[in-house]
Amino acid sequence: MTSQGTSRATSQETLHGKVALVTGGSRGIGAATALRLAQEGADVAVGYVNGKEAAEEVVRAVEALGRRSVALRADSADAAEAAGVVAAAAEALGGLDILVNNAGVGLLGPLETLSLTDVDRVLAVNVRAVFLASQAAAARMPEGGRIITLGSCMAQRVPGPGGALYAMSKAALAGLTKALARELGERGITANLVLPGPIDTDMNPADGPFASGQAAMTALGRFGTAGEVASMVAYLAGATYVTGAEFAVDGGHAA
């Protein structure tokens, strides 16, 4: 069932009629975000690289909410695919209003163990793909477009050793976000950065070996949920006078 023409906007559906692409929408924060944007009324393209079945499950959940959805495979490490998924989403769902740059890799380890291949891969997925997808999105977004990127609390405060590559990659997104805001502001397009703290996902399970230390570093003393981050993304998708800004959803990790 498709949403357009069959569903009616309610007062809760602030994103009715909007089309979103969530990269890495198959799992974790991305899957929660895809569902939350659909609850707010958006049609949602779900990006993935390996998790076809998981992505298709998210598509079915979005469709169950009465929205249109499609799963799109694209490897963010590949420059052509990182940009191409934006065009594919716009083609499949008839335009693009909201880009959520969520796909990311969390590679931590002592400095001496991080290879050149690791450096190239993390920068390709966490930084270059965000630049290329944002560039492709800006080229086709109408006034009111939204670019929302998932950074990390580790771009603000690195709580221990092992974060050189990941923190470097996430810190680059602050400069990109501010520059996008300045460049796209005159077209009424906003760009913002969300900085999650420890969030319970496959990347960083709340029962993982370093979990208790991470929880202890937050003011609230616990991991966050993917839904708690998705709430911030949904807010930014609807916000009209917020751009070039960074939003910690980190339980007070940076406090």
C-alpha–C-alpha distance, residues 234 and 238, integer Å: 7
Residues from 191 through 220 that contact ligand NAP (CB under 6 A): 196, 198-199, 201-204
Question: Does 28 help bind ligand NAP (rule: CB under 6 A)?
Answer: yes
Neighbours of 88 (CB within 10 A): 18
Question: Does 253 help bind ligand NAP (rule: CB under 6 A)?
Answer: no
Identity (one letter) of the amino acid at 72? Answer: L
End-to-end CA, the chain:
46
| Nearest residue to 161 via CA among 221, 105, 124, 210 | 210
- Judged by CB under 6 A, which of 50, 115, 135, 212 binds ligand NAP? 50
Residue 255 burial (10 A CB sphere; 0-12, 13-18, 19+): exposed
Q: How far is the CB of 2 from ligand NAP (least distance, A)?
A: 24
Question: Does 105 help bind ligand NAP (rule: CB under 6 A)?
Answer: yes
- Of 102 and 190, nearer to ligand NAP (C-beta) is 102
Q: What is the phi/psi pair of residue 178, to 5°? A: -65, -45
Residues from 141 through 160 that contact ligand NAP (CB under 6 A): 150, 152
- Judged by CB under 6 A, which of 13, 15, 18, 27 binds ligand NAP? 27
DSSP 9-26: --TT-TTTT-EEEETTTT
Question: Vertex 110, ends 104 and 111: CA angle to 5°?
Answer: 90
Q: How far is the CB of 106 from ligand NAP (least distance, A)?
A: 5
What is the DSSP code (8-state) at residue 199? B
What is the rounded (10 degree) CA torsion for 22, 237, 84, 88? 80
23: its two tokens? 């990269």
- Of 3 and 172, nearer to ligand NAP (C-beta) is 172
Q: How far is the CB of 134 from ligand NAP (least distance, A)?
A: 14
Q: How far is the CB of 197 from ligand NAP (least distance, A)?
A: 6
Applying CB under 6 A, the span of 20-28, 171-179, 180-188, 239-247 interacting with ligand NAP comes to 20-28
- Judged by CB under 6 A, which of 21, 29, 147, 172 binds ligand NAP? 29
Judge whether 166 counts as a catalytic residue: yes
Question: Does 251 help bind ligand NAP (rule: CB under 6 A)?
Answer: no
What are the residue numbers of the active site? 166
Q: What does the binding site for ligand NAP look like in residue numbers (CB under 6 A)?
A: 23-24, 26-30, 47-51, 54, 74-77, 102-106, 125, 150, 152, 196, 198-199, 201-204
